[in-house]
Structure 1
């Protein structure tokens, strides 16, 4: 019986499905290619900024909630993603890789079908090896670029590439092109992780399962059973990648290849075959350990990064991008009092995170949690002392690694190769594009102003509409504005205007009814308003005629004295 249980827990990144909508292309070489024309238009920097950034909203109302509730709100900060110059660089490379990879794989070209035919023939010949693909496809080669991204753990490589991939649909269904039937399924991108043991066989099975999860096929069961020869699985994998027009294949955690006993060179050769022969662009992502794969005798490995390598270093303390990142992150406080970002706090913050994105975000969250429950910190302030205590007690496990980076101790850094970025010729203090950083910062601030303007515009529009209805007789305009503002601020700004309107209308009706009920409640009677009845009651209790008591109290005058 075929055993596939080991692949059941593979997590595959999934994007959106779209029906093909063909767009006019800015470059002539991209015309008349359905695979390219169905892609989103080439993204501008504003598009990337808008789609890439994740800034969780923490309102003034959130900050007024109980401590136990704010503890949960703080976890929103985990989703924080700040666009930096390197994200724009990766996006440009990825955009180019996908489009230029399709140039020689135009599904309207006869060579596209010829390539698939040859690959199917090779796939059916069980004894053949993937090494002969070069020979069989020599006359229809379609070289594509490939890219490697190398950086220390926690710097945000995987988060960035996944966020950028999700800007594209993952699967595009083609039915008709230029009035002619055109039935194709296009997979724009596929991301899989290199298995921890570096096994090429496991990688192939991950590939089959990823396609199965997307399209509902059964390739893992058909091609991935145990007695399959790895080279045969690679042929099936290559054939499927070409048949479905995969725009880019992203392999993450490539440093796991170092754990493989015999498959390292075979896997690297396979990546080169995909890009240099079959024409499918590849992106290899790994920690600094992966640089060993691109050194020494692995000549093919150098070819596996034909479009170069992006070295993703930690942010330097004196860089503009670090200052911008920290200032933006600092706005996401959910404490009783606002903590100021003093020079002392800045210095302590960098010392404890060393410009590593994931460490910085976690340190910020944990420091706020410590401030929330510190009895000696009634104002809930984040100080340099708070940051140091948090790093020492709550992030104890990573202290040896952070210390090695902080002290630039090469001997200690070699123990933790994941955090060492300058193994050979890579500079530790990799300089960023300062001009681009400035543009991003200006664009980000402008976007914040735009968001605030849109929010205020939405509030004003809703207030005018509700007031004009004339049905809220118990509400003032200030009551309606306060109510509308609360609704708009607690929801995402891209919420449909009609949803805002319905919520505001329902809330205003409820508040109007509540205030109307308060007005209609009977007021308690004031006994001073009816003194005559009180005197009469007192006279009866004393068994006295009310006339006598009223006369004695001055309510009845003597008629003789009054008129004569």
Structure 2
């Protein structure tokens, strides 16, 4: 409220400037990025407001933390993402390497205000571990985005980023009332988490595509956990690889505990040192293998897909050989004689020979078969067996269509009348089949 001179008398609307951001930490393979993306996809990323001159509101932006922890790199990524979303040219305008960090940071803050940025998500925060200098500057800027500019910042990273973000856990809790989320792997020794593990595996188990359905047992729960240590990404990929192996190699396609261990030993070899470190519980060894790199199963899938294709090819060749073995040499002799000695067309010779040949008959006279097949070929006049069949069918149809007439058959009377040029009505009336209607009313003596 202001007086006539423009002096503020009372501020009756107190708009908070701080926002509730938080930190999300967990080991690789637990689905942090995937779940976060699924949540973000529930919201439109950009909203256009026609009632406000078509103003663009950016609901959220998600970028990865720069590998060197560079503030300039962070700003450039924000410029590029905004340009991608609403078709602006902020990167060209503000992203020059000649611009200072302070200038770029000021522009990011201004753009966040201009486009009413709802949330900024920074993934891969563990990249700050490799930053040689000024990593605190980036963290402080993110806190500033939270507390001063009013844009919530969600920081996402693996356990490797925990020591760096540990201070931010405390700062965030003190400044905004929000803390951090630690999403650890499911642990067997914790009863509640073991129930969660069984619940997760049970939900995954319905996606079983083997010919024989395998029932879940406690031994399978434990085998899957031993080989993946409760890491979601690994157990999902192990489950897929086990099924590929069972379908490609196992005759009954049943999933067994031994098969799970064999496939894990073969398919998870790249992450085996990390899993051994987790099983050991040795802190020093676990620090040596801080992060588990994303595991690709494409090579494993291609390996067993090619095995399946190879098996299909072998089966095709086996059936072809069996068919060749089953073909009688007598039939081949008859066909050759028709072609070579009697000059019958090759296709017609094969069709006629197969027609007269009886596979179940134990003894055959080759010359009799040749004579029968040759006689059949002559009926075609040199045409194919299909034409012979068609001619025979026409003759058969014609024979069936010729009716047998009885005495005073109306059909015969009409047919004879048509030959003489007499109408069917007159012919049937003459034969006494059509009565004169006048006779019912007039009696002539």
What's the TM-score, normalizing by structure 2?
0.60
Give 1:267's aligned residue.
138
- Write out per-residue CA displacement over residues 154-181 of structure 1, whole angstroms, 9 at most, x where no aligned residue: 10000011000000011001122xxxx5
2:215 aligned counterpart, secondary structure: coil
Cα offset for 1:295? 3.8
Secondary structure class of the residue paired with 1:160: helix
CA contact 1:268–1:304 (8 Å) conserved in 2 = no
Per the TM alignment, residue 296 of structure 1 is displaced from its structure 2 partner at its CA by 6.4
* Cα offset, 1:300, TM superposition: 5.5
Q: Distance in 1 between matches of 2:101 and 2:58?
A: 24
RMSD: 3.0
Instruction: Pick closer, same or farther for the CA change 1:273–1:296 going to 2, 3 Å.
Output: closer
Aligned pair in 2 of structure 1 residues 232, 150: CA closer, same or farther (>3 Å)? same
Q: What residue in structure 2 maps to residue 379 of structure 1?
A: 252
Count, aligned residues: 287
Which one is further off, 289-298 or 241-250? 289-298
Partner of 1:164 in structure 2? Answer: 39
Cα deviation, residue 231, structure 1 = 1.5
Secondary structure of residue in 2 paired with 1:417:
coil
**Residues 171 and 186, structure 1, Cα contact 8 Å, conserved in 2:** yes
Q: Structure 1 residue 524: deviation in Å?
A: 7.2
**Judging changes above 3 Å, is the alpha-carbon distance between structure 1 residues 164 and 295 closer, same or farther for their aligned structure 2 residues?**
closer
For the Cα contact (< 8 Å) 2:120–2:153, is it kept in 1? Answer: yes
Partner of 1:418: 291
- Deviation readout 1:317-340 (Å, 9 max, x if unpaired): 343321111011111111111122
Partner of 1:192 in structure 2? 63
Structure 1 residues not aligned, in runs of 5+: 1-138, 420-520, 531-564
Q: For 1:278 and 1:267, how far apart are their aligned partners in 2? A: 15
Q: 1:305 to 1:265 in 2, by over 3 A?
A: farther
Alignment partner, residue 333 of structure 1: 208
| Larger RCO, structures 1/2 (Cα 8 Å, 6+ apart) | 1
The unaligned stretches of length 5 or more in structure 2 are 1-13, 293-389, 400-445
Matched residue, 1:397: 270
Contact in 1 for aligned 2:229/2:275 (Cα 8 Å):
yes
- What is the SS of the residue equivalent to 1:245? coil
Contact 1:146 1:306 in 2 (8 A): no
- Verify: 1:352 aligned to 2:227, yes or no: yes
Alignment of 1:290-301 (within 5 A): 290-295=161-166
Residues 378 and 303 from structure 1, CA distance in 2 versus in 1: closer, same or farther, beyond 3 angstroms? same
Distance 1:237 1:354, change over 3 A: same
Residue number in structure 2 paired with 1:407: 280
1:453-493 Cα shifts (integer Å, max 9, x gaps)? xxxxxxxxxxxxxxxxxxxxxxxxxxxxxxxxxxxxxxxxx
Q: CA–CA distance in 2 between the matches of 1:307 and 1:274?
A: 15
Distance 1:305 1:194 in 2: 22
| Residue 202 of structure 1, aligned match among 73, 87, 98 | 73
- Taking the aligned partners of 1:185 and 1:191, their CA distance within structure 2 comes to 17
Structure 2 equivalent of residue 278 of structure 1: 149
Residues 378 and 221 of structure 1: is their aligned pair in 2 closer, same or farther, counting only changes over 3 Å?
same
Do the aligned partners of 2:147 and 2:176 also contact (CA within 8 Å) in 1?
no
